[in-house]
Amino acid sequence: MDPLLVVCITFFSLLFLRVPVAIVLIVASLTGLLLSPNAIQIETLPTAMWQGVNHFVLLAVPFFILLGDLALVSGVTIRLVNVARAFVGHIHGGFAHVTVLTNIVMAGMSGSDLADAAATGKLLIPAMDKAGYPRAYAAAVVAGAAMIAPLIPPSIAFILFAAATEESVGRLFLGGAVPGLLLGLLMMVQAYVVARRRDYPREAKVPYRERARLTVVSLPVLFIPFVVLGSMRAGYATPTEAAMLGVIAVVVIGGLIYRELTLPAMARQSLAALRTIGSVFILIAAASLFGQVLTLYGAADGVAEWVKGVTDDPVLFLLGINLLYLLMGCMLDSVPIILVFVPLIMPAVEQLGIDPVHFGVITVFNLMIGLVTPPYGLTMFLLCRIAGISVQSFWRYMWPIFLTMVVTLLLLTLIPGLSTWLPNLLMPLG
């Protein structure tokens, strides 16, 4: 039997048995190395795994994770929710609009859909339930809004994509900004239509004086994404340095201005961040090893030749990739998909003349949709646990939001300028 086929059977069999993904990747890699026609020393495995995490750009990931965790307990989220409610709470679907706007600003700090879903879900799901919205609808709205985080810069998923493909982090960040805002706008339109049809409650209109007061109170929060994104855009900081500045800003604002970020809370959230960072980097190391094994067997060249034989139309290729990604995202974590499968596909992307930023945005958005779909959907399970509901109840209200995300994905696929216009304007190549 062909060794590569044995590797693939090992991988999918262990995955089907629900073995942790990092262990699946390591065992499949060991199988590939043992069956390799060229003798390879097993002692080289630690070095290969270390090379996978030894990327300067990956240094930003721990700090963005820590930033998101500290934002949970620093008083940042409640200020954002209050000011958003003051401006859009009286519109049909007001709480849904509040959720979307809060996540857009939160996205400029954490770059993680799970962090944003946890922060806004714990606050907004009980509030929406109290206001008369179904809890399952509240969870679905938060899940959809949290998908904005990996698109709007800074984004941990884009950092991983850059590490896997050697693309510019800055251009990828800029490429996701317009798609993220577009998704937010379409979600608000969808929420407005649903709220009117189901006669969901609205809040009383807040006087302009109170709006001004809440805006002033929330200004320090709005300063955080300005620090993170502004420092990178101005060229004063790398993504890693910008993430560190963001952590400092959260600590200063939450600890000294709002006085809600205490030392015990900081210690608790730092430990939580360390656990997340550890799991992410083990996945990165294992995925890098598996990717090297696939490269050893010429999988990238094989995929490129297969794609070339199937179609030379970039649009048809991207539509096929969308279906593949949506299927993979339902079953796998986004980290191994980005670090293992994206490098295999990139030669075909280059041959077809597809802009890497355009492909990166499509990749990240596809995989994030998988986080709200069974059977793997981490964000879905997190919000179901927070809301105390079943997956069936969640999807009763989630499907219109899912369709909105699919429509947005199709627009991004068919109109490359939505992803490439801003990076070409602000960070042109050459």
Question: Quick one: 16 and 95 in the same domain?
Answer: no
Question: Quick one: 211 and 253 in the same domain?
Answer: yes
Question: Quick one: 88 and 2 in the same domain?
Answer: no
Instruction: Tell me the residue range of the domain where 8 lies.
Output: 1-40
Q: Classify each residue of 313-324 as buried b or exposed e, where b means 16 or more C-beta atoms within 10 Å of its C-beta.
A: ebeebbeebbee
- Which among 312, 389, 333 has a CA at the least distance from the CA of 129? 389
Total domains in the fold of the chain = 2
Predicted local confidence at residue 364, as pLDDT: 92
Question: Quick one: 50 and 186 in the same domain?
Answer: yes
- The angle at the Cα of 68, spanning 383 to 368, to the nearest 5 degrees, equals 50
Question: Quick one: 21 and 126 in the same domain?
Answer: no
- Mean pLDDT score of the chain: 83
Question: Quick one: 283 and 418 in the same domain?
Answer: yes
Predicted local confidence at residue 419, as pLDDT: 94
Res. 325 pLDDT band, cuts 50 70 90: confident
Predicted local confidence at residue 300, as pLDDT: 60
Question: Quick one: 200 and 324 in the same domain?
Answer: yes
pTM over 0.95: no
Question: Quick one: 14 and 106 in the same domain?
Answer: no
Question: Quick one: 365 and 262 in the same domain?
Answer: yes
Question: Quick one: 118 and 8 in the same domain?
Answer: no
pLDDT digits (tens, 9 = 90+) for 244-254: 888 898 888 88
pLDDT at 137 over 70: yes
Question: Quick one: 228 and 143 in the same domain?
Answer: yes
Of how many residues is the chain composed? 430
Predicted local confidence at residue 417, as pLDDT: 93
Question: Quick one: 98 and 13 in the same domain?
Answer: no
Res. 175 pLDDT band, cuts 50 70 90: very high
- Which among 319, 318, 316, 305 has a CA at the least distance from the CA of 348? 305
Greatest distance between any 2 Cα atoms in the chain: 75
Q: Report the percentage of the chain scoring pLDDT > 70.
A: 93
Predicted local confidence at residue 14, as pLDDT: 84
